[in-house]
Structure 1
């Protein structure tokens, strides 16, 4: 009877089944597997056991970081998951430069809590830039939460019927390293949603950064919010000492449409 020879990895296995069960209990299965892989590899014979072990540790940490980044990206709920600082267009009049955007990409949102206001008329590319900064923040392992203003108001209304769910939503919005509110006050919000927004921003003040993307600016926000006192407090918290990106009047949707139609092979 012919038998299939065992693979070299199985023949030279360093760890027993009992060992591997211990690794699962300690949640270091990947570390142990990588260590075993490196030990068996004859090209590593010149390395000391300590060097091989540290190489396995580095690999395990890299894998854990990749998984954490993927988890953060999913939790952020970004509408443009593939947005990238490297793909931003820097036409004259957009008031942004590669150096400036690189600083936002590397920004420590957990410790540098200044807000960021991005403004332009519709089609200016606010959402793409907000998502590109958010993707970079997730790669730097910051907790990001994205929402449009109308969606936020709707979620707050739904959650309001359940005190626990409502508080959980407020906590999540308050605790993100970077909270992004897109299409800010494009449509109006009711007084209760404005009160919730005040509570969220009050909780975040001096401890977490908020990014606002809007077609309008602070002067309009103050007049559009339903309660004058709450409006002054909300705008003050958002705008005072905030960084700003004013993207000018370039319509990026039109620009990209023209580029698409001018590309070789385009048809319609």
Structure 2
């Protein structure tokens, strides 16, 4: 079989996974009836699947989701939530980098918007898209800190501008610094007509205009977000309370 020298060659060619899988397959008696070509192509398919899985894992880690196990398959479709399996399948399969239409997820606190945003973002990663998740207060803090380093600040703005799907959670739940608002305007202006932004918020566009510190900038920011957007209104169901009640109903629960 392959020697250590052979494996060094495979690593140099960056086909180590392919060679390892091929060696496993040809030593498996279950494959004795297959032609060499069939074994080789099976090894190629397996190596490609492994490479894709590693890329997806890397994309999910880079996005920094607060709920990295969120899944469209696990979404609660209780009546009154404003989401359906068909609609979510569309979001899960969506080609974000080819459609600059934004997505606004609106619900009161506890409505499950963070889970939903993470599930959609993870599905985007699984489809090969780059995603960045940020809570609004954390993002504003990062932008303000980055201003002390001109190069680092521009790098952050570029990253936010160019990621396939930018997710901003808890949008304007707390106030925002005028300088951070200016940076947000720059990012959204750069993304307009090119790439989509997903906003998850307890409030809607009318409130955003009033909450942003500069009225002119506020009109421009909200206009860019809201006038080219799909909307998911999750209704009034408190998913945190629902999950807590379900946990209390379990036989093993104690307090």
Name 1:181's counterpart in structure 2: 168
Give deviations 1:37-58, integer Å, cap 9, x for gaps: 2223333233222222211111
- Shift in Å, 1:237: 0.8
Name 2:193's counterpart in structure 1: 206
Name 1:156's counterpart in structure 2: 143
Matches within 5 A, 1:1-268: 13=1, 15-268=2-255
Alignment partners' CA distance in 1, 2:227 and 2:117: 20
Q: TM-score, normalised by structure 1?
A: 0.92
Alignment partners' CA distance in 2, 1:41 and 1:261: 50
| C-alpha RMSD over aligned residues | 1.2
Three-state SS of the structure 1 residue aligned to 2:97 is coil
Number of positions where the alignment pairs a residue of Structure 1 with one of Structure 2: 255
Give deviations 1:70-100, integer Å, cap 9, x for gaps: 1011111011111111221122211111111
Cα 1:36–1:221 change in 2 (3 A) is same
- Shift in Å, 1:63: 0.6
- Shift in Å, 1:36: 2.0
- Shift in Å, 1:182: 0.4
Alignment partners' CA distance in 1, 2:232 and 2:91: 11
Alignment partners' CA distance in 1, 2:199 and 2:53: 28
- Shift in Å, 1:265: 2.2
- Shift in Å, 1:17: 3.1
Q: TM-score, normalised by structure 2?
A: 0.96
Larger radius of gyration: 1
Three-state SS of the structure 2 residue aligned to 1:264 is coil
Alignment partners' CA distance in 2, 1:89 and 1:21: 50
- Which ranges in structure 2 are unaligned for 5 or more consecutive residues? none
**Which of structure 1's runs of 4+ aligned residues deviate more than 6 A?**
none
